[in-house]
A and B are shown apart, each in its own frame.
Chain A
């Protein structure tokens, strides 16, 4: 393939096979495809893709190394700025970031940067010795301890950057397993567990200590951390609080938040027979919302064996916030789309379980403040959708635990922690925050970018505090 040629499509499991298991849908490039795709890169001097990446990976450089059949070296280049390449290569919205600004995207199709990142990371795992992590830049800093709250993308990134700089880092995780939303939120068919485990092991190999089952804000206050040996604290507790519709009947049984539905399956493995956490296999499931979480919920319901799964969304296809790729995957697998439809109330049976949604039809009016056309109810258009399972996937607000127990922490009225965007520092000196707990629900990579900014902020805070010239 010459420079600029046609983009290699991502090989995928066929829909009829993949809906019967939780196997990863996207199979990744083989070596030939990867080199072919890497050859498309123009190697632009001004590197627009690097600036399109929230963590500024040296994209042309790693692609060059893939082209030279050295994917392990390519992975090392990525890991200089991104500790989680196998994850980002799978779940980043590249089309909105690096691939969006790729020069090729203007004429034909962008280089498949995400697929190449994934290729490099997976090849590195296959061919290299994981027990040779980079040495800390400044080992003398190890007498300074930093606490990281939450082991999701923001926390893992902040922790690995700080550990590489030389600090002693402890991650506190409230759940019994690491990874935060990467584990409880993202299904295995998009991000296999062994990939996540491998990336977390890499962070551990940098010297980061991870303590699970510690609920900061409850067992231990943020101030306690500062009083008991930590120079600084990074809060990366994510957007854990599910939004509901607030309409009648929403607490009927059989109505789940997207978080609950996914956590039962992804974290607790309710779908596996020998695991104790229960789940009911739906006959007809409705998923309310059309973001990535909604697609994940719908596709998970299909894999459990649901006969029919319908996305119910109040706007039209063009406004659906999920990645185009995920909508396409859901559609291929047989998820139905009931668009321009707004739930009004849930109806239950005599046992208090949901049996139908009463909805009204919508039409699109003028654009609202988000720039999307506002849905307006069509008068007298009420109708019912029969279902035995409803999954409300409207997004999440920031987790309230730390806010509730740390009154000195300045927060937005909607719950987000307020930080200095240049350093990530909150209203409490020495306490930093980043990721969804600051912005509300966003992407894995945005959280990682915020983790990097805060890690740099923490580094200069500690250096200033102790007048370090090292």
Chain B
């Protein structure tokens, strides 16, 4: 293959490129678009042609921004097989996400591997509610879209700490039959937490399916609201992972007294069966180390 051909392949990926002719060059993860959705929430659209051609709603990638980074799981919010790109949304909370947020359009991410995990089961349930907190809205985004497209009546509840942290509002409004927003401080939408409107909904009308993504305590609370009503509730879990392919077992979670791996058995699980407290303990195990890492970046900046 000559130079000219290689260029064409990069541009037209993947239609004209058979797998046997891929070169490492074709798989470089270049950022093509970047947007700040909120002060600490960033969206990047990045080239990952092999992921883009096969990703389904609910799947994730493992991202490794540079040589010294951690490998972190990020849900695929959107994909475009024509351009060979996927969209990732992340909150800049730890060293790796902050450093990822520092990458600009045209720059590269060292590694994006996936799609990993199982796609979310999208069915015509009838009445579906998507409950998302904070950056969980980005995880819920493709699920909400797919639930609506298949014909469900869709209510989306978005919760955030404050107005500035409400993301993807326009998108969710456009695809849902009803959008409810809550903020902890009442600076936007209803004052309070997502479980309050959810409680009202499930008491007032028949709800057939709930999907939830966001902070663990929120998902646990959502499960507590829907359980007495016997409503099928699926949570997208975000556990500590390294490889994302079933190799390390770091992401194990107890579901209905069975140990499962979030990466290969999930990331979706029956929210009524998840051992939330155990998951919370496992997730916060490295709290001190993560804080120390933050100081490392702060120190570097000075």
Contacts and interface: CB of A to CB of B under 8 A. Distances in A.
Interface string B278-302: 1011100110011001001000000
Contacts of B24: 209-212
Interface stretch (A4-12, A98-106, A117-125, A247-255): A247-255
B145 to A, nearest CB: 22
Contact of A251 (B23, B112, B278, B286): B278
Contact of B115 (A174, A175, A218, A224): A218
A274 interface: yes
A248 to B, nearest CB: 10
B285 A254 contact: yes
A210 B27 CA distance: 12
Instruction: Determine the main DSSP class of A at the interface with B.
Output: loop
Interface stretch (A257-265, A339-347, A426-434, A457-465): A257-265
A242 interface: yes
Given A209-B23, A220-B19, A230-B20, A214 B248 contact: no
Given A240-B246, A276-B69, A401-B245, A147 B282 contact: no
Nearest to B26: A211
Given A219-B54, A251-B278, A268 B247 contact: no
Contacts, number: 155
Interface string A148-183: 000000000000000000001010001110000000
Interface string A172-211: 0011100000001000000000000000000000000111
Nearest to B20: A229
Contact of A275 (B68, B250, B278, B280): B68
Contact of A212 (B21, B68, B111, B286): B111
A344 to B, nearest CB: 17
B96 A276 contact: yes
B289 A274 contact: no
B36 to A, nearest CB: 23
A131 to B, nearest CB: 20
Nearest to B283: A253
Contact of A256 (B246, B250, B254): B250
Interface in A367-396: none
A279 interface: yes
Interface residues of B, number: 53
Contacts of A276: 68-70, 94-96, 99, 293
Nearest to B14: A228
Contact of B113 (A214, A228, A241): A214
A278 interface: yes
Given A251-B259, A278-B293, A176 B110 contact: yes
Nearest to B67: A275
A181 to B, nearest CB: 10
B247 A240 contact: yes
B243 interface: yes
A400 B246 contact: yes
- DSSP class of B's interface residues: helix, strand, loop or mixed? mixed
A22 interface: no
Contacts of B3: none
B245 A176 contact: no
Contact of B19 (A184, A224, A259): A224
A225 interface: yes
A277 interface: yes
A209 B247 CA distance: 24
Given A242-B247, A251-B259, A278-B289, A400 B19 contact: no
A214 B14 CA distance: 15
A145 interface: yes
B73 interface: no
Given A219-B54, A280-B289, A260 B242 contact: yes
Contact of A229 (B18, B116, B278): B18
Interface in B82-124: 94-96, 99, 110-116
Given A213-B27, A280-B289, A229 B281 contact: no
Interface in B217-249: 242-243, 245-249
A401 B264 contact: yes
Contact of A250 (B21, B110, B259): B259
A51 interface: no
A215 B247 CA distance: 13
A187 B254 CA distance: 30
B249 A278 contact: no
B277 interface: yes
Contacts of A263: 242-243, 247-248
Interface string B139-182: 00000000000000000000000000000000000000000000
Contacts of A353: 281, 285
Contact of B21 (A174, A229, A267): A229
A259 B23 contact: no
Contacts of B27: 211, 213-214
B201 interface: no
A219 B115 contact: yes
Interface of B: 18-24, 27, 50-51, 53-54, 64, 68-71, 94-96, 99, 110-116, 242-243, 245-250, 252-254, 259, 264, 275, 277-278, 280-282, 285-286, 289-290, 293, 296
Given A215-B115, A280-B285, 4 more contacts: A175-B243, A240-B246, A240-B247, A269-B68
11 contacts: A174-B113, A176-B110, A211-B24, A213-B112, A219-B115, A241-B246, A253-B282, A276-B293, A280-B285, A352-B280, A399-B247
